[in-house]
Amino acid sequence: MDKEAHLLLRLVPSRLVPSKSQVVPFAVAAALLCVASATRADDWKTGTLAPRLQAILDSRDLRGADVGALAVDADSGAVLFAHEPDREMIPASNQKLLTALAAAAEFGPTHRFVTEVRAGAAPDAEGRVPWLAVRGSGDPTLTSEQWWRLAADLRRLGLRHVAGPVWFDASAFDSESWHPAWGQTSARAYHAPVAALSANYGAYAVVVVPGAAGEPARVRVDPPVPYLRVMNQARTGAEDSKVTLALSRKAGAGIERVIVTGSLAAGAEPEVFWRSVLDPVGYAASVFAMQLEANDIGVDGAVAAGVAPTSGVLLHEFEGKDMGEVLRLLGKYSSNVIAESLLKAMSARAFGGPGTFDGGAEAMRSRLEGLGLPLDHAKLVDGSGLARGNRVTPRLMVAALRTVRGSFEFGPEIVASLPIAGGDGTMSERAEGAAGRVRAKTGLLAGVATLSGYVQMANGRVAAFSFLVNDFEHGAPAARRAADRFVEALAR
């Protein structure tokens, strides 16, 4: 019996069981209810849904593009729509779904990366130690605020002065900060370097404020650390003049020069630029030095990169965010540096020694194979999807999504990490026709637009889908629009 008809019968009190004269009409009504329900089921299984989705793939937005798409019932696996589901495609940031799944399975949702602090001796009566060493394990989410918390913890433990140097030991990862498959990288924040010790996702903000017309513009960096040295060549133009600001960077001896040129109109709103650093460990050391000073902890020596001595005493183990929160930051904001840090951490866990990009890709593949995913046609190069050599199929992405949905151990954390249509993260202004009913990972590279995740359909069922577009000819906005229409149609 249809579930809705069964529920209807349960709602009928026993004293109202139909008489013999009422049986036929009641049975007819129940039968009609079953037919109506079946008709709705047929609509999303084999009726009008597939033609509507195919029409989106055939639209001008995707004309000339390579498209692979698959949508299935997330619980049963029944296919709702398929278009070249085994086509090997560049995933862009949809690769992060696979990285998140592998990392969650490897470390578990409660894992926390630990930043270890050792001292040459326990603080003496005046709170002095001969030296300090900070050793990272790959925590990708250490911010200025957390470095302040670590410094405050050390003060609480009695530290007041370091007579010698503070070594910043990032040897848990190798020294390759950017994946060679990425080619030439820019100073943009999404190209931030990867290191076992970092701060603020390897990025910082440059704020340019206009002065009076003809005068220099005012420039400041956040955080205001000595590592970042501003060279301000920017001017204030006349009111309503064009903004011609440009930023560049140049490495120095233990510093990074931030060069600002061009002009900003008088009376204009401040301009904010997010940029990545060249030396993530030197930058993190400078942030930590600032926070030690903020907590009245003096340092006589340098705070700089170096291998920590194996001697000394363990002063503190600072625990970072749990893996569930790390995954949320990875998914909601599509953080490349978090993805690659997790990749190298998986390498270090699997093979020992410093974590590497290649070791991480091998460890990720092994972990995903252990989960039973179909990787025969997959090529996994990096963790973020910046590498154009990555290849996945819609079938692999949907299999990963169904594995996530079926996992009590780590599935909820990954589902919660996905941006919500019309709500937050990279989906905050997308698929607004299905607002609140789509959780999906976005992806964008030159010529590549991807979207994979879950849709709650009108019948209450959940679909797992992957929509991968390569080599589009009508621009990224058109490809993204087609992806949004695809999930909106699924939701309807």
CB distance 370 to 106 below 8 Å: no
Q: Is the dihedral of CA 382, 387, 389, 390 positive or negative?
A: positive
Q: Give me the sheet containing 161-162, strands edge to edge.
A: 128-129, 161-162, 298-299
**Residues β-bridged to residue 166:** 132, 303
3-class DSSP assignment, residue 414: helix
Query: Can you identify the CATH homologous superfamily of domain 45-109+323-491?
Result: DD-peptidase/beta-lactamase superfamily (3.40.710.10)
Where in the chain do CATH 3.50.80.20 domains reside?
112-321
3-class DSSP assignment, residue 401: helix
Q: Residue 320 to residues 113, 177, 179, 332: CA-CA distances in angstroms?
A: 6, 21, 25, 19
Among residues 317, 321, 82, 74, which one has the least CA distance to residue 201? 321
Per the structure block, which two tokens stand in for 311? Answer: 């001697």
Distance CA 242, CA 91 (A): 37
Distance CA 381, CA 118 (A): 36
Please report the pLDDT score of residue 1 as a whole number.
38
Among residues 94, 90, 91, 81, which one has the least CA distance to residue 486? 81
Per the structure block, which two tokens stand in for 4? Answer: 């809705």
Provide the residue-wise pLDDT of the chain in tens; the chain has 492 residues.
333 333 332 333 333 333 333 333 433 333 333 333 333 444 444 568 999 999 999 999 999 999 999 999 999 999 999 999 999 999 999 999 999 999 999 999 999 999 999 999 999 999 999 999 999 999 999 999 999 999 999 999 999 999 999 999 999 999 999 999 999 999 999 999 999 999 999 999 999 999 999 999 999 999 999 999 999 999 999 999 999 999 999 998 899 999 999 999 999 999 999 999 999 999 999 999 999 999 999 999 999 999 888 889 999 999 999 999 999 999 999 999 999 999 999 999 999 989 999 999 999 999 999 999 999 989 999 999 999 999 999 999 999 999 999 999 999 999 999 999 999 999 999 999 999 999 999 999 999 999 999 999 999 999 999 999 999 999 999 999 999 999 999 998
Q: What DSSP designation does 446 have?
A: T
Residues in Cβ contact with 487 at an 8 Å cutoff, skipping those fewer than 6 apart: 421, 431, 434, 438, 440, 451, 453, 455, 465, 467
The catalytic residue positions are: 93, 96, 334
pLDDT tens for each residue of 322-353 = 999 999 999 999 999 999 999 999 999 999 98
Residues in Cβ contact with 306 at an 8 Å cutoff, skipping those fewer than 6 apart: 133, 165, 167, 168, 169
Q: Are strands 256-261 and 79-83 parallel, antiparallel or unpaired?
A: unpaired
Region 112-321: CATH code: 3.50.80.20
Where in the chain do CATH 3.40.710.10 domains reside?
45-109+323-491
Q: Are strands 462-470 and 161-162 parallel, antiparallel or unpaired?
A: unpaired
